[in-house]
Structure 1
Amino acid sequence: MDKKELRSRGWFGKSGKDGFIYRAWMKNQGFPADEFEGRPVIGICNTFSELTPCNGHFRELAESVKRGVWEAGGFPLEFPVMSLGETLIKPTAMLYRNLASMDVEESIRANPIDGVVLLCGCDKTTPSLVMGASSVDIPTIVVSGGPMLTGRYRGKTIGTSDVWRFSEAYRQGQISQDELTTAEACMCRSSGHCAVMGTASTMACMVEALGLTLPENAAIPAADSRRKVIAHLSGRRIVDMVKEDLRLSQVLTRQAFENAIMLNAAIGGSTNFVIHLLAIAGRIGVELNLDDFDRLSAQVPLLVNLQPSGGYFMEDFYYAGGLPVVIKEMLSRIHGDIITVNGKTVAENCATAECFDPEVIGSLEKPVKELTGLVVVKGNLAENGAVLKPSASLKPELMQHRGPAIVFEDIDHYKARLDDPNLEMDENSVLVLKNVGPKGYPGMPEVGNMSIPKRLLEKGVMDMVRISDGRMSGTGFGTVVLHVSPEAAVGGTFALVQDGDMIELDVENRRLHLDVSDEELARRRANWQPLDLGYDRGYVNLYIKHVTQSHEGADMDFLIGGSGDVVTRDSH
C-alpha cells in the first residue's frame, strides 16, 4: 500500500509544525523515527480493568497482539476504553453498553489508526467494541479473552449456571454461607469469562460466526497458551488487512448475520445475542429484525451440549473441536462462500475441523436436543415480540401453557412480594415482572429469570413460566420469556397486566396472549400513568431519552448508522 493511503499519514506524515507536534510527543515513549515513516498503525483497543475480572488478563494478551503486529511490520499502539464488568457494575452493565460503544467509536476515529484489534471478553465488552468499530468501518479483527477453566467443587464440575442452583439450595437451607464461600473459589479458578454458554461465550461465538476472528477464537480457554498464540496471529493478520483494505463492512454482510443467527441456535446461545446482534446490524447498515431470528432459528436443533442447555463447559467444547466443527456441520444451511477477516471463506476455515467428542458436539442427524435454541413469540402481550430459549427449559410441557398472572410492578415489588405467604399461587401461575426494560429500570437488567417462590421450591417445583420486559443472564435457565416489547415503561399492553389475568404461551404457534378484552384493556390504558424515572442529568438521562426498544437493539437512536473514519475537524 502507498504510504499516503494510510489513514495515519494524516498525522505522522505531515511536515512543519503539525508533523512536529504529532511525532514529538509520541517519541517520549522511545519510538525511533522510522516507526513514523509509513508503517501501518494498529490500535489495540483494550478493555482491561481490575473491575472487569473476565478481562483482567488483557494486559498480557495485548503484549501477544503487539508481538504479531511488530513481526508483520506494523506499529502497535494500545489504548484503553471504558470497560464493563458484568458482575460488579450497578444497576446493570447493559446501561453502559452504548456509552462504551461511543468511547470506542470516537477513540478510533479521532486517532491515527489504520486498523484495530478489539480485545474483549465480558458480556457487554464484545458488542460495545464491535458496535463502535462498525460505525467507523476500518480494518478490524476481534480477539476474545477466552473462558475460565471448568470449576471443580466436591468432586463435581461447576460453572456459572450453578450460581442459580446454589442460590435456590441456599434459600431452602440446603447449603450454608460457608459452603457458598468455598464454592466461589472453586468456580472462578482461572482467568477468563464464564465457562458455560452464557452471554460472554455466546458473544465470542458470535464474532467468530460473523467472520470477525481467526478460526477457533471462541472456545480456547483463557489460561491455555494457545489463547496467546491466536492473539499473536491476529496481530500479524491485522497488518495484512490494512494493506488489503479489508474493512468491517466487507465482512459484516447480510449473509454473515444470517450465519450468526443459525449458528447461535445450534449452540444454544444466550438470548442476549438477539439484542446485541440487532444493535451491530444497525451500526453497519444491515437490515435485520426479530422475524429474521425466528425464521432462521426454526428447525435448527441444539448441537452443542453445554450448560445451561446441556451438561458440559466451554473447555470441553474446545477440546471437542470448537465452533469450526459446528460451522462445518451447518454448511448445508449457512452461507459458506462469504469472506472472513483472514481472507478465507467460512467453508475454507472449517474444512479440516473434526469432532473429537460427539457427547459434546452433536450432528444434525443426532442432535443434543430437537428443540431450537431461540424462538420469537408475539401477540397482544408483546406486539413487537419477545424471545424465549426453549433449549434451556426444564419442563418442555411449559412450551404450551395457560395460567393466571402473578404481577410484580417493578423489581422492588418483586423482592418484597415473591415469598409473601399470603400470595396465592401454584406451579401453573405465570410470574410477570414489569418495568425492567430499556427505559424502565433503566438499562434492562438481567432479572428476567425470576426465582421460583420458596414454598413452591419446597414442593419440588423447579420451573414456571416467567415473563418480563427485561433480560436474563445467558447462564440462566428455565421457561423464561424476555425482552417483551413495547416495555411497560412506555405504556405497552404489558404495562396493563393485573393479578389473575390469564396468559397463554404457545411456543409452537409463536403466540403470547393476554386473555383480556380490548374494552377492558382500553379502560386500563386510560388510567395508566407513566413511571417517574427520576433521572434528570448526565448519561442516564440521555439514555432514557434516546434508547430504542429491545426489538430494535436498545441502541441510542442517534447512534444508528456510521460516522465513517474521517475526523470531525483537523487540528493545529
Structure 2
Amino acid sequence: MSLRSAAWFAAEGKTGIMHRSWLRSEGLPDDSFEGRPVIGIANSWSELTPCNVHLRELAEHVKRGVWQAGGVPFEFPTTSAGEPLVRPSAMLLRNLISMDLEETLRANPLDGVVLLAGCDKTTPAYLMGAASVDLPTVLLTGGPMLNGKYRGTDIGSGTSVWRLTEQYRAGEIGAAELAEAEGCMARSRGHCMTMGTASTMAVLGEVLGMQLPGGADLPADDARRRTLAHLAGRRIVAMVAEQLTMSRVVTRASFENAIRVNAALGGSTNAVVHLLAIAGRLGVSLTLDDFDALAADLPTLVDLMPSGRFLMEDFCYAGGAGALVAELGERLDRAARTVTGRTLGENYAAAQCHDREVIRTFDDPVKPPGSHIAVLRGSLAPAGAVIKQSAAAPELMRHRGRARVWDRVEDYLAEADRPDCDIAADDVIVVRNAGPRGYPGMPEIGNVALPKRLLEQGVRDMVRISDARMSGTSYGTVVLHVAPEAAAGGPLALVRDGDVVVLDVPARRLDLEVDDAELARRRAEWRAEPAPGTDRGYLRLFVEHVTGAEVGADFDFLRGRSGADVPRQAF
C-alpha cells in the first residue's frame, strides 16, 4: 500500500529525522512510522460553537477505531463558527473554515481524514475543504439535541424561537412565559433538532455517501453515536487501503440524490448554496435550476418542523435517513457509491419505517409534489432566487403588492416596531444589501419579523424579498438569495418604495413592474457602497472574491480540486 505520509516518515537523512523525532515527544512508539496509515481527525470543536462542544469526546472514540484498525490518528483543530453567536453571519466564515481545512490537509502527512462537524456552516465547510484536497474522507456529524420539552409539548430550536417571539410581540404571551420556554429548548448537547440547516446538511452528507448509515439522525447524547465514531475510525483506515477518495464517492448522481432527499425532508434552503459550493470544489456540474427540476415531482414526506410537527429525535426513532431512502426507492440512484464501500441501496436494503406519522408514504404526504424549493426568475431576479414553499402560506404563492424597501435590515426592524408603522398586510417587504458581498456574508435575515402592529391584528405571514438567506428552522413566504445581489448592481438595487412587485410561484416568476427606461435611469444613478470594514483583512478578501449565491457563494479561486500532491519540503 502506497501511503502519502511516507513522503514524510520514510524519508532518509535529516528530513526523516526531523519529521519523526518531534512526534516521538507525543509518546508514539517506533512502529507508528512504519507503513501505518496516518489519519487526521479534523475537529470543529469550540466552546463558542455550542452545537459542536461535545466533538472532543467523539474524537477520542474515532481514535480508538483508528488504532484498532492499525492506523495512527492525529486530531487537529480548525476555525469554528457557531450559528447562535457569530456576527454578522457564520456564513462569512464558511469559506475561511474550508480554506483552513484544505491547507492543513495538504501541508501535513495525512493519508485520510475524519471530519467532525455539526453546526450549520461547519459541515459544508468541511466537505468543501476535503473536496478540494480529495483524500479518503469520512464525515461524522455531532447529532441533534434531544427534543425541547415545554409545558407538555415539544418545542424546537429556531422554529419555536420565531413562533414564541411573534406571540410575545403580539401580546399573546408574557416575558415570564417566554423566558421559561427559552430554558426548555436546548436541553442536551448537539445541533438544532428541527429540520434546519444543521440537520439538513447532516442528512444530505449521509445521502451524498460521506457519512456512515445512521450518522445523520442519532441524537448527540445517544451512546450509539460514540459507537459510530469508533466505526468511522476503523472505516477510514480501510478506505486508505482502498484508495476510496471523496471524488470517487461523491458524483453527479450523489448530488441528484441529495436534492431529491432534501425535497422529501422539507430541508433547508441553505442546502442550495452549500451543495452548489461542494459541487464546484469537486468539478461536478450542478446548477440552481437542478434544485427545482430534479424535485418537481416529489412531495414532502418528513413531518418535521418548520414544515411539519415533529423533531429529529422522532425522525431517528422512526427509521431516520435509511427509512426515507427506502421510501423514495427507485426515485434515487441506489447504485451511488458511499464511504462504506457499498452502494446507497445496499446500505439501506433492510431499512424500515417505524412511525408513519413522522415519515409518510407517497399516498399520505405532508405536502404535495413540487411544494418544496422553487427557483424563481424574472426581471427582479434574472440570475435566480429561491423560496421554500413547504414553509410558506399557500394564499401568498401568487401575490401582487406595493414594495416597501429598506437598504439596511436594522432600519426595517426599527420601523416594524413603531406603533404607527404604515406597512400594510398586502405590501411586499424588500430588504436588500444582505447578500454575500452586501452585508457581507449573506446573513440569515431574510425572514424578517412582521410589523408589530400587524401581528397584533392577527397577521402571521407576508411576502418578504431579499438577497439574504434565512435559517432552515424558519418559515414564511420569504423569497431568498435574489441574484444578482443588490451590492453587485442587480435589479434589487433599483427597487423604489411604491413599485409593484409580482410573485408567481407556480409560474416560477419574480418581477418588478417598472419599465425599462425608468430602470435604465435608476441604474445610471446607482453607486456601489462598500460594506463597513471591507477595506482590510479577511472581509476584503471575501467581498473581492465571493461568487453569487446562484453558484454557491464560494470564492472564485477555490472552484475545482487542488489535489493532495505532497508539498515541496524546505530543508
Q: Tell me the TM-score normalised to structure 2 length.
A: 0.98
Supply the distance in 1 between the matched residues of 2:331 and 2:71 (Cα, whole angstroms).
38
CA shift for structure 1 position 414: 1.3
* 5+ residue gaps, structure 1: none
Note the C-alpha offset of 1:70: 0.9
Query: Displacement of 1:221 after TM fit?
Result: 0.3
Tell me what 2:121 maps to.
124
Q: Quote the residue 2:308 is aligned against.
A: 310
How far does residue 571 in structure 1 lie from its aligned partner after superposition?
2.6
Any idea what the Cα deviations from partners look like across 1:117-172, whole Å, max 9, x if unmatched? Answer: 00000000000000000000010000010000000011111011100012112222
| Bigger mean CA deviation after superposition, 49-58 or 209-218 | 209-218
Distance, in Å, in 1 between the alignment partners of 2:401 and 2:162 is 24
Aligned to 2:222: 224
Q: Say which is worse superposed, 399-408 or 270-279, in terms of deviation.
A: 399-408
Match of 1:189 in 2: 187
Partner of 1:495: 493
Q: Which residue of 2 aligns with 1:391?
A: 390
Instruction: State how 1:358-373 maps to structure 2 within 5 Å.
Output: 358-370=356-368, 371-373=370-372
Q: 2:37, 2:70 within 8 Å by CA — same for their partners in 1? A: yes
- Between the aligned partners of 1:233 and 1:379, the Cα distance in structure 2 is 49
* Matched-pair contact (CA < 8 Å) for 1:408–1:417: no
Aligned to 2:341: 343
Task: Determine the structure 2 residue equivalent to 1:39.
Answer: 36
**Which digits, 9 at most, give the CA deviation of each residue in 1:212-252, with x for residues without a partner?**
01111111000101111111111111010000000000111
Distance across 2 between alignment mates of 1:502 and 1:236: 59
CA distance in 2, matches of 1:48, 1:425: 44
- Runs in 1 of length 4+ with deviation above 4 angstroms? none
**In 2, are the aligned partners of 1:266 and 1:372 still within 8 Å (CA)?**
no
Q: Secondary structure at the match of 2:448?
A: coil
Letter in 1 for 2:552: G
Is structure 2 residue 87 aligned with structure 1 residue 82?
no
Q: Secondary structure, in 3 states, of the residue corresponding to 1:87?
A: coil
CA displacement, residues 362-398 of structure 1 (integer Å, 9 cap, x when unaligned)? 11222111052211010010000001110011x2111
* Partners of 1:408 and 1:433 within 8 A in 2: yes
- Give the distance between the partners of 1:515 and 1:286, measured in 2 at CA: 37
The structure 1 residue matched to 2:94, chosen from 97, 112, 125, is: 97
Q: Which whole-Å CA distance do the structure 1 matches of 2:498 and 2:421 have between them? A: 12
**What is residue 566 of structure 2 aligned with on the other side?**
567
What secondary structure, in the 3-state scheme, does the structure 1 residue paired with 2:363 have? coil
SS in 2 for 1:402: strand
Cα distance in 2 for partners of 1:185, 1:225 equals 25
| Residue equivalent to 1:177 | 175
Q: Which residue of 2 aligns with 1:507?
A: 505
Deviation at 1:423, TM superposition (A): 4.1
Partner Cα distance (1:357, 1:513) in 2: 42
Secondary structure of 1:558's match? Answer: helix
Q: Does 420-429 or 10-19 show the bigger shift?
A: 420-429
Q: Do structure 1's residue 139 and structure 2's residue 150 form an aligned pair?
A: no
CA contact (8 A) 1:297 1:375 kept: no
CA displacement, residues 339-367 of structure 1 (integer Å, 9 cap, x when unaligned)? 11101111111110100000000112221
Q: What letter is aligned with 2:384?
A: G
The answer for the alignment partner of 2:548 in structure 1 is: 549
Partner of 1:113: 110
In structure 1, what is the equivalent of residue 236 of structure 2?
Answer: 238
Give the TM-score taking structure 1 as reference length.
Answer: 0.98
Is residue 408 of structure 2 the alignment partner of residue 418 of structure 1?
A: no
Mapped to 2, the partners of 1:263 and 1:62 lie a distance apart of: 29
User: Sequence identity of aligned pairs in percent?
Assistant: 59
Displacement, 1:305? 0.2
Pairing of 1:255-334 with structure 2 (within 5 A): 255-334=253-332
**How far apart, CA to CA, are the structure 1 residues paired with 2:539 and 2:179?**
34
Match of residue 148 from structure 1: 145
**Partners in 2 of 1:363 and 1:286 — Cα distance?**
32
The offset of 1:523, in angstroms, is 1.2
Residue deviations 1:233-274, cap 9 Å, x none? 111110100000000001111110111001101101100000
**Counterpart-to-counterpart distance in 2, 1:459 and 1:231:** 51
After TM superposition, give the deviation of residue 422 of structure 1 in Å. 4.5
Deviations 1:512-535 (A, max 9, x none): 111111111111111112113232
Cα distance between partner residues in 2 of 1:567 and 1:407? 52
Structure 1 distance, partners of 2:566, 2:485, is 37
Q: Does the 8 Å contact 2:384/2:550 carry over to 1?
A: yes
Q: Tell me, yes or no, if structure 1 residue 525 matches structure 2 residue 523.
A: yes
Are 1:143 and 1:217, in contact at CA under 8 Å, matched by a contact in 2?
Answer: yes
Within 2, Cα distance between the matches of 1:22 and 1:266?
49
What amino acid sits opposite 1:134 in the alignment?
A: A
Give, as a single letter, the amino acid of the residue that structure 1 aligns with 2:107: A
Amino acid at match of 1:142: L
Which of 19, 24, 35 is the matching residue for 1:22? 19
- 3-state DSSP of counterpart to 1:472: coil
Alpha-carbon distance in structure 2 between the residues aligned to 1:47 and 1:428: 44
Cα shift at 1:177: 3.3
Note if 1:60 corresponds to 2:38.
no
* SS of aligned partner of 1:376: strand
Q: Deviations over 1:412-440 (max 9, x none)?
A: 22122223445433221111111000000
Mapped contact 1:297–1:372 kept (Cα < 8 A): no
Deviation at 1:174, TM superposition (A): 3.1
Secondary structure at the residue paired with 1:513?
strand
Unmatched 5+ stretches in structure 2? none
2:156 aligns with 159
CA distance in 2, matches of 1:515, 1:328: 46
What code does the residue aligned with 1:236 have? Answer: R
- Residue 450 of structure 1 is matched in structure 2 by 448
Mapped to 2, the partners of 1:568 and 1:92 lie a distance apart of 33
What SS class does the counterpart of residue 274 from structure 2 fall into?
Answer: helix
Displacement of 1:538 after TM fit? Answer: 0.3
* 1:478 is aligned to 2:476: yes
Contact 2:423–2:451, Cα closer than 8 Å, also in 1: no
Q: 1:274-309 deviations in whole A, cap 9, x for unaligned?
A: 000000000010011111111012111001000000
Task: Write out per-residue CA displacement over residues 30-57 of structure 1, whole angstroms, 9 at most, x where no aligned residue.
Answer: 1101111111001000000000000000
